[in-house]
Structure 1
């Protein structure tokens, strides 16, 4: 089990974390439609998860048309026909830290976030909303340091994107966020520019606006959230 996956398993849905790990594997290995990813048994052992968790991860990826399952002796998990999104994942991995600025990353993320948040407000389930509130509650705990706040911030936004049925938006946003997260988090933390209390308050208001479902409240909350990134290097 990788260190990245171990961290995700501690903080989020285990099945979703395994699903993301399999998507990363497809991109990292350059797999294309029809390629074998592995058997469920071997991958379950590799990721160290229960049978039910692995089955749920497979279901999630099948629903997203990322993989298909072939039974039998020569069966396993295979890459489904999703060339555009697979190419996107590979392109993200090809980007080097030297050629991509933090400003470029933030610009891309900020352009997508209002769409993601509006989609979250339209489609979030009761269980999904409970998970968002739990993450914000952890943000609000006394004594939360900037580094922990930033990690929770990224976890919250990844979870928001899970709500949208728009696969292109979800995959694009989550790919960008996962790629730039460590870079932006490190820069913001090193510059001591993170206002944890203000950030937690604004994220709480955003989640509650999503829960209320009032479009005007959601737009106001999105605007307040967007202000966290102005000036550059602010606490989100």
Structure 2
């Protein structure tokens, strides 16, 4: 009696490689579709047939997609692989962790911050509208709660708001990354994980100086004065760089 040959056994490494390739293919497909958040791009059975991989490799690919906030599997009627909206804070945090691993030093950190934030403040001043003014004032109002006492890491969020108002997603992301690192420099590593738990040891005078610097930068942005906004931002960043270096 002839015996049917056994199916080849896939090694763990082979399954992992197939999962990574499948994840990349699905990511490229979503990008080519112009990232339609909320759209179901196929059921598990349909996608298994389309990509021709084992169930184990496919489910590992889905795990990777979910970890990257690219897509997630929704169960039940009408379910399937759903396009997700990536979390910019998660992306910024991952990049900040990598730069901590690379031991980025304060001079390099503030060199990058200066280049990015001068571009961001210029664009913010050029593009400011009523909604942006409200957002800036909201950031300043939050900071004012720290006057006379210690602050937490959210006092650095003013810079992220300015970058957001530039209208440039790349500036917004990278300023967020570098601001997280700066906050960790001043307040400790906790600032990268829980902004409100990281408390400042700065004096009330130092908190007031930071808040005043933010206020005058905001004034120049609201006035649409790009040169003055950049001048004030540069002065503020230079002061922060000197403080980070312990000068």
- TM-score between both structures, scaled by the size of structure 2: 0.54
Structure 2: which 5+ runs fail to align?
1-22, 41-77, 189-198
Q: In the TM superposition, what whole-angstrom CA distance separates every residue of 1:173-218 from its partner, at most 9, and x where no partner exists?
A: 223323x144123169457697112221121111011001123332
Q: Does 1:128 align with 2:129?
A: no
- Structure 2: distance between partners of 1:196 and 1:69: 43
Q: In the TM superposition, what whole-angstrom CA distance separates every residue of 1:126-165 from its partner, at most 9, and x where no partner exists?
A: 12211211221332347443433x422x221111111223
Whether the 8 Å CA contact 2:106–2:245 is kept in 1: the answer is no
Whether the 8 Å CA contact 2:139–2:158 is kept in 1: the answer is yes
- Identify the residue that residue 39 of structure 2 maps to in structure 1: 70
- Structure 2: distance between partners of 1:183 and 1:142: 18
- Of 31, 34, 50, 2:26 maps to 34
**CA shift for structure 1 position 93:** 3.7
- Identify the residue that residue 183 of structure 1 maps to in structure 2: 184
- Structure 2: distance between partners of 1:135 and 1:157: 10
3-state SS, counterpart of residue 76 of structure 1 = strand
- Identify the residue that residue 198 of structure 1 maps to in structure 2: 209
Whether the 8 Å CA contact 1:129–1:211 is kept in 2: the answer is yes
**CA shift for structure 1 position 95:** 3.5
- Structure 1: distance between partners of 2:227 and 2:111: 24
Matches within 5 A, 1:134-173: 134-141=138-145, 143-148=147-152, 150-152=153-155, 154-173=156-175
- Sort the Cα spacing of 1:213 and 1:183 in 2 relative to 1 into closer, same or farther, 3 A: same
Q: Does 1:228 align with 2:239?
A: yes
3-state SS, counterpart of residue 69 of structure 1 = coil
Aligned residues: 170
Q: In the TM superposition, what whole-angstrom CA distance separates every residue of 1:67-90 from its partner, at most 9, and x where no partner exists?
A: 64323521412479xxxxx99975
- TM-score between both structures, scaled by the size of structure 1: 0.56
- Identify the residue that residue 211 of structure 1 maps to in structure 2: 222
RMSD: 3.9
- Sort the Cα spacing of 1:97 and 1:147 in 2 relative to 1 into closer, same or farther, 3 A: farther
- Sort the Cα spacing of 1:215 and 1:95 in 2 relative to 1 into closer, same or farther, 3 A: closer
Structure 1: which 5+ runs fail to align?
1-30, 36-61, 81-85
- Please say which structure displays the higher CA radius of gyration: 2
3-state SS, counterpart of residue 34 of structure 1 = helix
**CA shift for structure 1 position 230:** 5.0
3-state SS, counterpart of residue 237 of structure 2 = helix
